[in-house]
Structure 1
Amino acid sequence: MSDQGRELWIRRAMRLVAHRFRQNRWMLAAAIAAVLAVHIWAGGDTRTVTAVVGALIVVAGLAPSRTAGLLTTEAEETANGGTRGLSGENLAAAVTDPLIVFDGAGAVVHANDAAVNAFGALRPGILLLLKFRAPEMQEMIQAVLFGHAASRQIDFIERVPIERVFRVTASAVGRGTGLYVMVFKDQSETRRIDRMRADFIANASHELRTPLASISGFVETLRGPARDDAKARDHFLQIMQNQTARMARLIDDLLSLSRLEMKSHLRPGVKVDLRGVVESVIDSLSLLAKESGVTVERNFPTGAFEALGDRDELFQVFENLLENACKYGASGGRVVVSIGGPDTNAEHETTVTIQDFGPGIPEEHIPRVTERFYRVDVETSRSQKGTGLGLSIVKHILTRHNARLSIRSKLGEGAAFTVHFPAAE
């Protein structure tokens, strides 16, 4: 074989080996060995061998991208294969919201555990039109089954056993499967918060409107018929001052609630001497107690009583409770303030109890007294300059302190408000 022929044959062999090497990088060593064997057999010169080996090394530098592509493709195929292997029941079980799969006849094919817990038994074969009789549900199911809409979304209210509001979405599953899916998103808590917010705004507006209307009427009177009546002027000005003070208290309480809600997730981490806080509150309200004809008695055992908290906020808690006891329990003539240590109860809590001996609170009102603007007796509350927000502020502060408020009361025997603090670490 001529030198030119041997060189042409070697170049063809090099191209073939390079092509194979792009597919399998591990063949590099075998490729180089093959080139050397051909060189020895064909009697080629050293420059040709060097060129061939250099070309193989260049190919080796290009191979990783090809190898990465092959690995990526294999990974994608594995992932796709794994997804295709998942069953519909497994996917439905992973959904935390109620989910129902039904067929073209409107019969249940599968319902996840959340759906069964929310709506009771949903055995395969049950017709959804018989299970959900609300007109909006019937219309949505029929619209999806008859192809009037690819998907529909409505609000559905379940009233039994308790009222719950769901945002329901129904749509077809894929194309040509003959299956449909319905997902229920519980909106009950969102609706409750929206209703609470609306009620709060309405109540706050009403509480502010009343003194404003009173002040406006007295201003009009002073500018007209009572312009030159000194006695009437002094009387009206006193009422106007009382009404503006009431509005100021209401605004202060609203701001306190707003601040508490903004930091409700922040837990105080400083130990507070509860005895010292309660003593300060009693001293600050001594004049109010005297004017109300109430004697404040202390029942403090020896020892230290501490809790994790914010001193100013806890002062506000006990100030509200003691002020209410002096105002609304004044007919009893005395108020007893007690402190109990962790060793006095099974829960190992530190407790502070403020007990009056007045008319008490009717049992049906006790669960609601901490609601905003809720009053057991509206006229009595307003005559005592109450805003209807004091116990709501107490509840918010105690929630932030991981504490709680319990209320015991009997008509004619007074009421006891107890604050329970978890044991301080």
Structure 2
Amino acid sequence: MALRNDMRGERAPGRDRRMSKALEIWLALAAGALMAAAVAVPLPPLLAFAIGAVLAFALARLPGRRRAVSFATPEPGAEPPGAAAVEAEARESREMSSAFAQDLVERLPTPLLIIAQGGRISFANSAARAALPRIRSGEHFAGVIRAPAFVEAVNATFADGGERTIEFTTLRDQERFFEARVARLPETGSFGPERQVIVRVDDRTQARRAEQQRSDFIANASHELRTPLAAIIGYVETLQHHARDDPGARERFLGIMAREAGRMRRLVDDLLSLSRIEMHEHLRPSEQWSLNQIAFESATALLPVAEQQGVHLRVEVPTGGAPVAGDRDQLAQVFANLVDNAMKYGGKDAVVRVFAAPPSKAFPNRVGISVSDTGPGIPREHVPRLTERFYRVNASQSRNKGGTGLGLAIVKHILNRHGGRLEIASAPGEGSVFTVWLRPAEAGPAGEAVATEERAPAEADQRIA
């Protein structure tokens, strides 16, 4: 007769197995929910991993739960499970929990490293391998990330178990900025028998560069405004004292003040225009216009200015065709800026042409308008930076000609909004050609313009002749 010891609440083997299976299913469902939440909601990676590690550890412990003590007589011919079978089952469970933990870390979108006590990298997820291409499992972390602050933080966390956040830079190929958070990992054995730390690595390069660009922009804008303002204040003081009774000096100084005030007005207008363009840069225009017509009207409006400057402006673009989806006023500003630059820097007796660009293999399925000049040309080292704010090839010449350093930056941001490209071809002594490329449009269901292709990010394509 079978006797069972139920004094401590032990369950029968069949019931015990059913309970273990049920718990395993619930834990698996909880782990799946965690992974879904980690993708949908940006949980702190260390918190997400800690919860996942606890779940994996619980899964690993399921085979070792309390087992019923049975004194039942085994069935004839049946053999009770031996110690080897129990150990094999426990080992298989540990391997499954380790694979589960590694899969969890692999799927998290944040770069994560697992480093063992001896410094060996136990595991690096795909996000970490993308952020740090030199990362290899099995290598010492100090040989991969050669940053003293990072090495000290990892060693200190191994020593006292405290969490640390540090910043470091890498100089391979180009300078990159990172922020790392180091914490002790629960000892579940999922990544090896040694003590482990988990490291979250965030690439801050883009944010750092954006902050630097903002700082540079503020500094440049302040300088550009301060220079004409200082000149105006100086001449005002002179007129109030020494030149008060000198009609000739007074007229000369008033002329300079008017020129400097006009320069300030142009700079403020360009800054406001750039701010408005950036505010709506994510909104794609839908109205249909003729690119040729816009270029023709913008260029012919500058004919009187060209005559005053002694520049031969030739408008050779047809007055219709090349339909595009766009903002008419902004596209007119693009061509006005390009033609004005060509006349300004081409110099007296320069020839400036505005014409329809022939089809280009580099820009398939696009329509283009080119603005060329016979000026001195641009050295190749300056071409890639022409669309940067306040960048000038010759700063003093630009200021003397009334330039603000924002004209091509405005062109670039307008083309960004339109999904267009700016091609620049130039060489010293051979003049320059600036070509605007836009996707043609066809009429949509409500009379709106629809681009024939998907929008692509717009950048300036610098082509050195």
Q: What TM-score, normalized by structure 1, do the two folds share?
A: 0.78
Correspondence for 2:198 among 170, 181, 194? 181
CA contact (8 A) 1:173 1:181 kept: yes
Match of 1:290 in 2: 307
Q: CA deviation at 1:422?
A: 1.4
Q: How many residues align?
A: 353
Query: Does 2:120 align with 1:103?
Result: no
| Equivalent-residue separation in structure 2 for 1:242 and 1:302 (angstroms) | 36
Query: Does 2:161 align with 1:161?
Result: no
| Equivalent-residue separation in structure 1 for 2:101 and 2:225 (angstroms) | 57
Q: Structure 2 vs 1, CA of residues 400 and 160 (structure 1 numbering), >3 Å: closer, same or farther?
A: same
SS of 2:381's equivalent in the other structure is: helix
CA RMSD in angstroms comes to 2.3
SS of 2:377's equivalent in the other structure is: coil
Q: CA deviation at 1:73?
A: 9.1
Greater C-alpha Rg? 1
CA contact (8 A) 2:149 2:166 kept: yes
| Equivalent-residue separation in structure 1 for 2:403 and 2:143 (angstroms) | 53
Q: CA deviation at 1:342?
A: 6.0
CA contact (8 A) 2:377 2:431 kept: yes
Correspondence for 1:172 among 177, 184, 191? 184
SS of 1:167's equivalent in the other structure is: strand
Correspondence for 2:105 among 92, 104, 123? 92
Equivalence map 1:34-49=2 (5 Å): none
SS of 2:199's equivalent in the other structure is: strand
Match of 1:409 in 2: 426
Q: CA deviation at 1:253?
A: 0.3
Q: Deviations over 1:312-357 (max 9, x none)?
A: 0000000000111111113453211111476998602100001111
Query: Does 2:159 align with 1:151?
Result: no
Equivalence map 1:376-415=2 (5 Å): 376-415=393-432
Q: Deviations over 1:269-318 (max 9, x none)?
A: 11111122122112210111101212222333686111110000000000
Q: Matched residues, percent identical?
A: 42
| Equivalent-residue separation in structure 1 for 2:357 and 2:159 (angstroms) | 69
Q: Deviations over 1:366-407 (max 9, x none)?
A: 111111001111121111111000000000001100001011
Unaligned runs of 5+ in 1: 1-71
| Equivalent-residue separation in structure 1 for 2:103 and 2:362 (angstroms) | 48
Amino acid at match of 2:394: D
Amino acid at match of 2:29: A
CA contact (8 A) 1:99 1:111 kept: yes
SS of 1:323's equivalent in the other structure is: helix
Q: What TM-score, normalized by structure 2, do the two folds share?
A: 0.71
Correspondence for 2:225 among 208, 226, 236? 208
SS of 2:153's equivalent in the other structure is: helix
| Equivalent-residue separation in structure 1 for 2:164 and 2:421 (angstroms) | 45
Q: Structure 2 vs 1, CA of residues 213 and 91 (structure 1 numbering), >3 Å: closer, same or farther?
A: same
Unaligned runs of 5+ in 2: 1-21, 33-54, 57-96, 190-194, 443-465
SS of 1:156's equivalent in the other structure is: strand
Equivalence map 1:238-387=2 (5 Å): 238-300=255-317, 304-331=321-348, 333-340=350-357, 347-387=364-404
Q: Deviations over 1:216-238 (max 9, x none)?
A: 11111111111211211111111
Match of 2:140 in 1: 127
| Equivalent-residue separation in structure 1 for 2:31 and 2:167 (angstroms) | 37
Match of 1:136 in 2: 149
Equivalence map 1:7-18=2 (5 Å): none
Match of 1:219 in 2: 236
| Equivalent-residue separation in structure 2 for 1:121 and 1:344 (angstroms) | 37
CA contact (8 A) 2:292 2:319 kept: no
CA contact (8 A) 1:129 1:141 kept: no
Q: Structure 2 vs 1, CA of residues 302 and 244 (structure 1 numbering), >3 Å: closer, same or farther?
A: closer
Q: Deviations over 1:206-261 (max 9, x none)?
A: 00010111111111111111121121111111111111111010000000111111
Match of 1:114 in 2: 127
SS of 1:363's equivalent in the other structure is: coil
SS of 1:87's equivalent in the other structure is: helix
CA contact (8 A) 1:331 1:358 kept: no
Equivalence map 1:72-87=2 (5 Å): 76=26, 79-80=29-30, 84=56, 85=97, 87=100
